Amino acid sequence: MYKYLIPLCVIFILSSCFKLNKPFSDENNIKIIKEDIFISEIIGLKKKEVSKLKNIIYNKLTDKDILSSYKFSNTRSKILSASIIKYSNSYNVIWKLYNPNKDQILKYVFNIDKQINTSFDLFKIANDIVNTIEIESNKNKNYIYIKIIDINDLNNIRKKIFIENLIEISKNYKIKYLFNSNNHKSHFNINIQFNFIEINEYETKLAINWILLNANNNIIGNIEQEKIITNNLIKSLWPQLSKKIIEMALNDIVYLINLEK
């Protein structure tokens, strides 16, 4: 059903800007390393309780648009760990959030009166640390503002779906978008060009060009995506297809932005 025209990600240096050519698939995708929270050791609970607590914390952080994992970490991950000390009538929950890139440790201590033997108690423990992390995260959150110059060659319905997906997925990258009516000053500008080229009655070549510019409208680089897709897929699965297009492009947009900083 899918035909991969470009099997590898190729980077060409063109004068002072970058041009990235790649399809929109998971194969050979070079992921940008993102800052997240790795939920690490939790000492003082049974193995089953540790597993459940990690999962609760992960879900609550995700609900608050905070990237996290209890399975994988990377070089930019903050490490969240805990020690739970049992006393006769209470528990001390000592959390440490270590940022290896800044060699910084934040320490939080919570007192729990009830015994930790029910799901309710685990949710209480999770709420305490997640709410605290959210407060700290909001203090340090610096969004990148990108003004959308144009998204061409999409009909109104497809454009609406595309923009909604773009805004939602970009939250994970701390990116917000501005339109003509916004007064906030943008850090970057972007022009997204779609081109639907009919191959035959069953297939269309979908080509997208993301042109990223700095605040002075000088081109930083562009990202080209291209794939031959069946016409039925474009019509019936546009929400899912547009998400895949955005996910693949955003990794490279962040890469270009980091080069410009």
Q: Give the residue numbers spanning the domain of 169.
A: 10-30+143-260
What is the percent of the chain where pLDDT is above 70? 81
One-letter amino acid at 96 equals K
Q: In what order do the strands lie in the sheet with 91-99?
A: 68-69, 37-43, 78-86, 91-99, 104-112
What is the percent of the chain where pLDDT is above 90? 52
The string of pLDDT tens digits covering residues 66-92 is 889 999 888 889 999 999 988 877 788
CA nearest neighbour of 97 among 137, 141, 52, 127:
137
- 63 domain-assigned: yes
- 82 domain-assigned: yes
Instruction: Write out the DSSP string of 67-123.
Output: -EESS---TTPEEEEEEEEE-SS-EEEEEEEEETTTTEEEEEEEEE-S-S-SHHHHH
Last-in-domain residue among 140, 171, 200 = 140
Q: Which helix (H) or strand (E) holds 147?
A: strand 144-152
> Could you tell me if 146 and 187 are in contact, meaning their C-beta atoms sit under 8 angstroms apart?
yes
Please give the distance of CA 11 from its chain centroid, rounded to a whole number.
22
* Claim to verify: residue 63 and residue 156 sit in the same structural domain: no
pLDDT given at position 64: 84
pLDDT given at position 143: 84
Last-in-domain residue among 91, 108, 140 = 140
Contacts for 234-241: CB closer than 8 Å, 24+ residues apart:
234/196, 234/204, 234/206, 238/158, 238/161, 239/161, 239/165
Residue with structure tokens 């943008």? Answer: 186
As given in the structure block, the two tokens for residue 82 are 């805990």
* Claim to verify: residue 104 and residue 175 sit in the same structural domain: no
| This prediction's pTM | 0.56
> Could you tell me if 129 and 110 are in contact, meaning their C-beta atoms sit under 8 angstroms apart?
yes
The CA distance from 3 to 12, in Å, is 23
The string of pLDDT tens digits covering residues 170-223 is 988 889 999 875 566 789 999 999 999 999 999 999 999 999 999 899 999 999
Mean pLDDT of the chain: 82
pLDDT given at position 181: 58
* Claim to verify: residue 21 and residue 47 sit in the same structural domain: no
* Claim to verify: residue 21 and residue 50 sit in the same structural domain: no
pLDDT given at position 30: 37
> Could you tell me if 110 and 93 are in contact, meaning their C-beta atoms sit under 8 angstroms apart?
yes
List C-alpha distances in Å: 79 to 35, 48, 73, 232.
11, 21, 8, 45
pLDDT given at position 10: 31
* Claim to verify: residue 109 and residue 233 sit in the same structural domain: no
pLDDT grade, residue 22 (50/70/90)? low
Last-in-domain residue among 115, 140, 165 = 140
Beta pairing partners, 152: 193
pLDDT winner (highest mean) among 13-17, 20-24, 150-154: 150-154
CA nearest neighbour of 225 among 14, 34, 10, 32:
10
pLDDT grade, residue 246 (50/70/90)? very high
Burial class (CB in 10 A: 0-12, 13-18, 19+), 124: middle
pLDDT given at position 36: 86
